[in-house]
Amino acid sequence: MRKVIVLMFAAVAAFSAIAASVAGADSTRAAGTAAPSCKQALIALTGPYTGPAGTAGLDQRNWGRIFISSWNAGKPIPGVPKGFKRTKLKAIEADTALNPQLAATVAVQLRSNKNLLAVNGFSGSQENVAGGPILRRGGVPFVSGSATRASLTDPTEPDGSVLKSGFFRRVVPTDKRQGATDAAFALNKLGVKSGDAVMTVDQAEAYSVPLITLITQLLNRAGVNVSRESQSAAQTDFTSLANKAVAQKAKVVVLATQVASNAQLFYNQLKSKGFTGAFLATDGAFDSSQFKVAGAYISSFSLDIHDVPVAKPFVADFEKKYGETISFGAPSFVAVQAIAMGISTSCANGKTSRAEVRRDIGKVKMKTSLLGKPIAFDKFGDVVGGVGFTMFQIGNDGTYNVVQKG
C-alpha cells in the first residue's frame, strides 16, 4: 500500500452550523414540513468530521460526496445495473464528532425533517447505540459504513431489540468476525502460545469493549495468560499500561481503538519502556497520517482502495477534489449507494416514504461494488458478501502493507 498523505480540511462546525448541500444541491435546513420527494430525494451524511477521529470522518464524508456527484451525473457505478432508473439525491451533512450525545442530538434534528428519507451513518457503534433508536422511532432507515458492534443487529441483545431489524444496516462485517480474525492472527502469525502473556486493551466505549472481550475469551481458551485492561479514549497517558506490559513480558499488546493517535501514543510509550513484543491495533488506527510506527500491525475492514480495479476512476475523482484518501471512508460510498438504490426502487411509481425506502434498501443486491465485492443484506441488516478484516503491517517508510487478506 502506498504511503497515505492526508490533506488538512477546514474544520467543520457543530451540527447546528453544518446543514449544508452536497453535489450542488440547495442548502437544506434540518426541519421541514413537505413530504419526501422523488424529484430530488433528501438524505443525510453523518460522521465524526471534527474531534479525535476527524480524519477518518472527513474521508467518509468525502466518499459520500463522490458517490452522490457520480450518481446524479449518471456515471457508471459498480453494482448499479445498466438502465437502472436513478432518483437524484441531495444531502445534508451532520458532524457527530464520535460523540454519542451529539449523535443523539443529530438524530432528533434529522428525524424531525419530514423531507428526509434515510441516513448514512452513524459511524461509531456508540453513536448508533445513542442515536439509532431515535431515528428508528421516526421511521428513518440508516446504513453505516463503519459500525461493527455485533449486537447492533442482534435482536436478542438490548441494542438490536431497540433498533429493530430493518432500520439499521451496515456494509462492513461485525466484530465477531474481527475478534476471531485477530485472535487467530496472534496465535498463528505472531507466535503466541499457551502460557504466553498478552495484554488486551479497550477504550471504554461501545465499539472496543465487546471486541476486546471476545479476543480475550478466545486467547484464554487457547491457554494464553491475558491481562484484560481498559482505558478511556480521552486518557492519552498510557504509562501505567506500558509499564505493566513490560513487567508481564507481554508477547503481544492488542488495542481496540477508534482514535489513531491513541495507537501512536500507546506504542511509543510501550517502546520507551523497553517493550519488544508485537503491537496490534484495530479499525480506527487505520490512518497513516496519525499512526505510522514501523512494525505495528492493524486489523481493519479498510482496504487500500487504490488496489481495487473498479474503484480507480472514483479514486482519481476523489483525489482531484480532496487530496489522497486514507481509504477508511470507501465503504461509506457503498453505504450511500445502498440508500440511493433503495430510494430509486421505492420511487418507481413517483411516490415514496421512509417505510418504502426502509423495505427497499433491504432488497438491494450489488453484484459488485466499489470495494470489489458483492453486497447484499440479511434479514437482520448485516452485510452478505463484502469485505473481511485485513491485517496490515506498517513498513519502515510508513506504508500500510497487507500481510493477510480479509
Instruction: Return the domain boundaries, the chain.
Output: 15-173+307-385, 175-300
Quote the pLDDT of residue 328. Answer: 95
pLDDT of 32 over the 50 cut: no
Give the neighbor-by-neighbor strand order of the sheet with 89-95: 89-95, 41-47, 116-120, 142-144, 168-170
Q: What is the mean pLDDT of residues 312-336?
A: 97
Task: Report the distance separating Cα 227 and Cα 49, nearest Å.
Answer: 34
User: What mean pLDDT do residues 104-124 have?
Assistant: 98
**Cα separation, 330 vs 78, whole angstroms:** 13
Chain centre to alpha carbon of residue 115: 26
From the candidate CATH numbers 3.40.640.10, 2.30.130.10, 3.40.605.10, 3.40.50.2300, the one assigned to the domain spanning 15-173+307-385: 3.40.50.2300
Q: What is the model's pLDDT at position 19?
A: 39
Is the CB of residue 295 less than 8 Å from the CB of residue 269? no
Q: Are 70 and 77 in contact (CB under 8 A)?
A: yes
Q: Would you say residue 34 has pLDDT above 80?
A: no
Average pLDDT, the chain: 92
Superfamily grouping for domain 175-300: Response regulator (3.40.50.2300)
pLDDT tens per residue across span 391-402: 999 999 999 999
Average pLDDT of span 221-226:
98
Confirm if 200 and 171 have CB atoms less than 8 A apart: no
pLDDT at 20 over 70: no
Dihedral sign computed on CA atoms, order 218, 219, 225, 228: negative
Which residue carries 445495473 as its cell?
81
The predicted pLDDT at position 302 comes to: 86
Percentage of residues in the chain having pLDDT higher than 90: 89
For the cut 50, the answer to whether the pLDDT of residue 366 exceeds it is yes
Which residues are paired to 142 by β-bridges? 119, 168
CB count, 10 Å around CB of 230?
Answer: 14
Tell me the C-alpha distance between 194 and 128, whole Å: 37
Q: How many percent of the chain have pLDDT more than 70?
A: 92
Could you give the C-alpha distances from 383 to 146, 156, 167, 186, 377, in angstroms and in order?
12, 18, 14, 26, 5
Domains 15-173+307-385 and 175-300 share a fold: yes
Query: Which three cell numbers, joined as nine digits, stand for 131?
Result: 442515536
Residue 269 has pLDDT above 70, yes or no: yes
DSSP assignment of 134-192, as one string?
Answer: HHHHTT--EEESS---GGGG-TTSHHHHHH-TTTEEESS--HHHHHHHHHHHHHHTS--
What three-state secondary structure class fits 370? Answer: coil
Q: What is the mean pLDDT of the segment spanning 160-188?
A: 95
Residue 3 has a pLDDT of 41
Mean pLDDT of 48-63: 96
pLDDT digits (tens, 9 = 90+) for 239-265: 999 999 999 999 999 999 999 999 999
Distance CA 16, CA 18 (A): 6
Amino acid 82: pLDDT: 95
| Residue 28 predicted with pLDDT over 90 | no
What span, in angstroms and rounded, lies between the C-alpha atoms of 160 and 149?
10
**C-alpha grid cell, residue 22:** 452536497
Q: Is the pLDDT of residue 10 over 70?
A: no
2 pLDDT exceeds 90?
A: no
Contact 207, 233 (CB under 8 A): no
Q: Choose among 89, 197, 210: nearest CA to 151.
A: 210
Taking residues 50-77, report their average pLDDT: 97
SS3 state of residue 359: helix
Q: How far apart are CA 321 and CA 324, in angstroms?
A: 9
Confidence band (pLDDT; 50, 70, 90) for 134? Answer: very high
Q: Where are any strands of DSSP class E within 175-246?
A: 197-202, 225-230
User: How many residues are listed for the chain in this entry?
Assistant: 406
Give the pLDDT score at 98: 96
